[in-house]
């Protein structure tokens, strides 16, 4: 327990020197100060940083250190927190050997929490070997395992589990397990690790999300599509239920479509996800993806639209195509897949008005071919494709791959993109 005083404005010289030495990992100065029998500073000294705006940049003004009171929000830290979070293991070891309280948490979390947040593996090892509690709960309701949120924290997570961290421990407010957090962050190695330690696949948090729902629900950049696919693949292969509903009656497929991850959508469809079930708002998976086409063009939403159609999605009501065209025209391949799911469509002047001249010029060949459909019927080749697709409706993805068809013909039947309509 803490028995000293919080560093205040009056403790200028030695206190400031100690502070700077800790932030810089200056082992010689830390050793000298903590071994000084006449010094009031020691390994369990508490620093209040609530008014040090630039302390992380090593620029200090001792006059800005505030007196400890209950009239302002405190931001308290200790020598152990500072050194553990920065990976200064020599200083950290010295402080521990000088009697620093390994689980002291005046600021709301232990040094182990901060070491995990900053992926300081050696600090985590040292703290645990000196008796740090791997299941300590922070003021915000997090355990150290919940703080392993980055790719670089995988070794920290391994150490925590080896020292007895509970793999299914929940955060106090969100009810997230470490697997929820790892799945949400797209951390493939963490997911694999937690599954090896028996993490629950079906635990639902306060939003009704299982780890699979959480992964599908997380918005991400195009470059992270593969990471989330890998996470979802691991979860499903280990038995995750692809039909679990959250509080808004959304299944993983609804969520993956909302975030436009084509690889996850195709994975869910391959494992039997139903394309036509509605969520609480009355949206199907198709409606979810069409709502984000304009915002996520780099995610290849057209691939999702095509996959949904090939798995039996109900087509857009023809009367709504003008609206769809208006909001999705920046993705001509999305429009191509939708139009090619009909044997005929009625093109009106409103279609021309729905597409901005800038987009028409950018995709001139495609939109000219679309608008020309008002003057001529679809080609016999396309009509034949529609006849086959209509006959196999609902079974298309099951039957077509089994037919002895040339690959080019098979792709044509599955709505391969040609960037033109005829």
User: Tens digits of per-residue pLDDT, 231-276?
Assistant: 999 999 999 999 999 999 999 999 999 999 999 999 999 999 999 9
The pLDDT score that the predictor gives to residue 60 is 40
Lowest mean pLDDT among 172-176, 261-265, 336-340, 399-403: 399-403
Q: Of 7-16, 29-38, 46-55, which gets the smallest average pLDDT? A: 7-16
Q: Assign 214 to helix, strand or coil.
A: helix
DSSP-assigned beta bridge partners for residue 6: 46
Residues of the chain with CATH 1.25.40.20: 1-166
**Cβ–Cβ under 8 Å, residues 346 and 373:** no
Strand 6-7 versus strand 76-77 pairing type = unpaired
Q: Where are the beta strands (DSSP E) in 14-94?
A: 46-48, 76-77
- Which tens digit of pLDDT belongs to each residue from 72-131? 455 889 999 999 999 999 999 999 999 999 999 999 999 999 999 999 999 999 999 999
Burial of residue 301 (number of CB atoms within 10 Å: 0-12, 13-18, 19+): buried
- Mean of pLDDT over the chain: 91
pLDDT of amino acid 63: 35
Rounded to an integer, the average pLDDT of 391-420 is: 94
- Distance between alpha carbon 326 and the CA centroid of its chain, in Å? 30
pTM of this structure: 0.89
Q: Are the C-beta atoms of 332 and 419 separated by less than 8 Å? A: yes
pLDDT tier, 375 (very low <50, low <70, confident <90, very high otherwise): confident
- Flag whether pLDDT at 359 surpasses 50: yes
**What is the structure's pLDDT at 4?**
44
CATH level 2 (architecture), domain 1-166? Alpha Horseshoe (1.25)
Residues 6+ apart with CB under 8 A from 390: 343
């Amino acid at each position: 327990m803490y028995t000293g005083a919080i560093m205040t404005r009056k403790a200028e010289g030695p206190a400031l020197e100690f502070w700077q030495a800790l932030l810089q990992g200056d082992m010689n100065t830390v050793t000298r100060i903590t071994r000084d029998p006449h010094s009031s500073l020691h390994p369990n000294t508490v620093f209040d940083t609530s008014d040090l705006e630039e302390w992380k940049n090593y620029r200090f003004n001792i006059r800005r250190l505030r007196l400890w009171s209950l009239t302002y929000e405190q931001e308290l830290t200790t020598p152990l927190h500072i050194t553990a979070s920065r990976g200064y293991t020599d200083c950290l070891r010295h402080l521990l050997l000088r009697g620093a309280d390994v689980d002291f948490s005046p600021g709301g979390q232990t040094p182990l929490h901060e070491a995990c947040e900053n992926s300081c593996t050696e600090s985590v090892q040292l703290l645990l070997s000196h008796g740090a509690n791997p299941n300590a709960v922070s003021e915000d309701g997090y355990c150290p395992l919940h703080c392993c949120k980055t790719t670089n924290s995988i070794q920290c997570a391994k150490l925590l589990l080896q020292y007895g961290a509970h793999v299914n421990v929940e955060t106090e407010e969100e009810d997230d397990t470490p697997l929820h957090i790892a799945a949400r962050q797209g951390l493939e190695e963490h997911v694999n690790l937690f599954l090896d330690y028996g993490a629950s696949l079906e635990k639902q948090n306060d939003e009704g999300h299982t780890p699979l729902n959480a992964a599908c629900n997380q918005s991400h950049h195009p470059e992270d599509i593969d990471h989330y696919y890998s996470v979802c693949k691991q979860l499903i292969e280990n038995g995750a239920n692809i039909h679990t509903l959250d509080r808004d009656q959304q299944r993983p497929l609804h969520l993956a479509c909302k975030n436009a991850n084509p690889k996850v959508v195709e994975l869910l469809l391959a494992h039997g996800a139903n394309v036509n079930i509605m969520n609480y708002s009355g949206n199907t998976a198709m409606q979810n993806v069409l709502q984000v086409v304009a915002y996520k063009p780099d995610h290849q939403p057209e691939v999702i639209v095509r996959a949904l159609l090939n798995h039996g999605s109900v087509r857009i009501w023809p009367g709504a195509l003008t609206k769809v065209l208006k909001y999705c025209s920046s993705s001509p391949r999305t429009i191509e897949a939708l139009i090619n799911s009909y044997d005929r469509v009625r093109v009106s002047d409103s279609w021309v008005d729905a597409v901005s001249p800038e987009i028409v010029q950018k995709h001139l060949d495609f939109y000219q071919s679309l608008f020309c459909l008002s003057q001529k019927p679809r080609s016999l080749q396309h009509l034949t494709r529609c006849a086959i697709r209509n006959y196999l409706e609902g079974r298309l993805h099951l039957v077509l791959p089994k037919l002895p068809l040339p690959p080019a013909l098979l792709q044509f039947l599955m709505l391969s993109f040609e960037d033109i309509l005829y």
